[in-house]
Amino acid sequence: MTNINTPAATDSAAPLIPLPTTLARHTVTAGATTALIGTFLAWTWTSDFPGDLTVTGYPGGLQLLTLTTAALTILFALSTYGVPGLRWLTPGGTYAPLRLLALATFGTTGYTLGAISADLGGIVNLEPGAYVSGLGSLIALIAAFALPGDTPGTDTTGDNTWQRIRHTLAAPSPRPARAIPDWAGILIIVAAFAIGLYVFAYGIDTAYTELFIGFLITAVFTFAAITQAGLIARLSALTAHHRTVTLSAAFVAAICFPFTQSSDEYALIGANILIFATVALGLNVVVGLAGLLDLGYVAFLGVGAYAAALVSGASTSSIGVHFPFWAAILVGAGASLIFGVLIGAPTLRLRGDYLAIVTLGFGEIFRITMNNLNGNSGPNVTNGSRGIPAIPDITIFGYDLGISHDVAGFTLGKPGNYYLLMLVITLIVVTVFRRSADSRIGRAWVAIREDETAATAMGINGFRVKLIAFALGATLAGLAGTVQGHLTSTVTPEQYQFAGSVPPNSAFLLAAVILGGMGTMSGPLIGASLLYLIPAKLQFMQDYQLLLFGIALIVLMRLRPEGIIADRRKKLEFHETGQLDTPDTTLTDTPVGVTKAGA
């Protein structure tokens, strides 16, 4: 009987490098072990390179990333041997995760060696440990691509190099795993969110650019590896089965984040990520569920921010009233709702490009109007380009979010306080999105998105359904806008452009929805987090953000058009599923009414 963790070479695609399978696996293990050992040796002789890679016997900085990927490579390699206790790592019996982890080890190590050489002035600055890890990671990579492919029956003869690599990395669907007790599933969910919190906190807390880039390389290839191994699919099945536990674990992990940060700078990044992600989730109602291309969505964020700022008691407010926060947030959400209905009612009878142009125009009209309400070009309402500064901090039940507080032995500053407030609002938005998507109106949105003509023929009032989506999306953006205005302490028209250097703006919001996965709940949250975190950590990318994001979207459309988190419908739409294949003739050889023997 064939071990499911040892794919037969005769049923697999040809390897890129001819080498016996057993020897290739031994070589991968040996190469990864060598790379791991090298991390305990000095990689450079001077501490001028950030992270201090001069210490022998104690890995630090980028060495820890190489150590992590090398250790994972060894574990997955042992899993392919059928080692008891490790078989669950590759339930589909595939080599694709091993190749991706070898790529992660080589990519992280190679980048580190290149960064040392570039920053310090040549490879002469490399110590023996760097060569040991570099050679080990290269050997592991070459041997990993000598393993047979995991796509049974695939003939790679005549394919170009890119096609052969794709065939080699492709993995079949994992075999169903054994059922586990509910208590074990709950522990796995809790452990997964704990690991996720640690990884996110580590990434956001990276102290220098080189470490963050190395972290990105490690995270991308490692996530791809565990996805190919089927572990993400198995975790998704567990979270679907224990939905309440999943939401509770996610909320607790998010609450713990500001307590893991020693600097207000990173807590501020976390608060802004939540604002960006919440607005992106609201846009997902409009674009992902209803299929309405809105290019001026950031204007609704501005409407909520301006409305809340005007009633917040700011000294520069032209209204001169001071509402409590609960009333200010209702004013912001209500103003965005009204504007959503007023803008949507005359424009939602348009479709496609025409609707996109109109919404883009609304976004620009909003920004220009806020500039003109300065007392010269129009009535003095918004102070024009100066905006509304000095917005007072929020006070809830006597708890001033603008000052530091000691909570359970930890000190939370203003960014941490606003992060926790925004987390509650994000939870509300997630609940609204989830309930709406699963409701009758949510199914009507999907029907309109797929085919408005067919949906109308089935009795769905397309205009009313689209107007509800537009109004709901605007309201969710207004909720986030009220908190954003108080967090930044000022509101100006330049914050709400179609495409600017500082998110959130309409282009970045749309990119977050597409990158994360349209129509999903967690997709826009992940997409927004990536699009905000990466520019915040890589300051040198500020002048090339739109170019780099455009390239990222092109690559995404080529490799994973359904987004990072795939909606089931999109996955069927963008990938060949065999639904339209010609039926097997063996099933039609028997005349109708006659059954085969043994059937």
Q: Does 375 map to a domain?
A: yes
With cut-offs at 50, 70 and 90, classify the pLDDT of residue 502.
Answer: low
SS3 of 57-125: CCCCCHHHHHHHHHHHHHHHHHHHCCCCCCHHHCCCCCCHHHHHHHHHHHHHHHHHHHHHHHHHCCHHH
Mind giving me the DSSP string for 338-405?
Answer: HHHHHHHHHHTT--HHHHHHHHHHHHHHHHHHHHH-SSSSS-SSS-GGG-B--PPPPEETTEETTS-E
Q: Does 236 map to a domain?
A: no
Q: Does 241 map to a domain?
A: no
Q: Does 216 map to a domain?
A: no
Q: Name the pTM for this structure.
A: 0.78
Specify whether 37 is located in the same domain as 154. yes
Which of the listed residues 135, 162, 177 is the one where a domain comes to its end? 177
The per-residue pLDDT for range 407-450, each reduced to its tens digit, is: 777 778 888 888 888 898 988 888 888 888 888 998 998 888 88
Which of the listed residues 533, 553, 571 is the one where a domain comes to its end? 533
Pick 502 or 337 by higher pLDDT: 337
Q: What backbone phi and psi angles, to 5 degrees, belong to 106?
A: -65, -40
Q: Does 207 map to a domain?
A: no
What rounded mean pLDDT belongs to the chain? 81
Domain of 34 in residue numbering reads as: 9-177
296 alpha-carbon distance from chain centroid: 22
Which of the listed residues 177, 207, 228 is the one where a domain comes to its end? 177
Q: Does 29 map to a domain?
A: yes
Q: What is the pLDDT of residue 38?
A: 94
pLDDT at 105 over 90: yes
As a whole number of angstroms, the distance between CA 537 and CA 200 comes to 13
Beta strand extents in 466-524 (DSSP E only): none
Q: Does 539 map to a domain?
A: no
Single-letter code of the amino acid located at 82: G
**By three-state DSSP, how is residue 490 classified?**
coil
Specify whether 338 is located in the same domain as 461. yes
The per-residue pLDDT for range 344-381, each reduced to its tens digit, is: 888 888 877 888 888 888 888 988 998 888 878 778 88
Q: What is the pLDDT of residue 15?
A: 55
As a whole number of angstroms, the distance between CA 497 and CA 92 comes to 47
**By three-state DSSP, how is residue 44 classified?**
strand
Residues 3-16, mean pLDDT to the nearest whole number: 45
The interaxial angle of helices 96-120 and 128-144, nearest 10 deg, is 150
pLDDT at 405 over 60: yes
The interaxial angle of helices 209-228 and 62-80, nearest 10 deg, is 10
Q: Does 215 map to a domain?
A: no
As a whole number of angstroms, the distance between CA 437 and CA 289 comes to 7
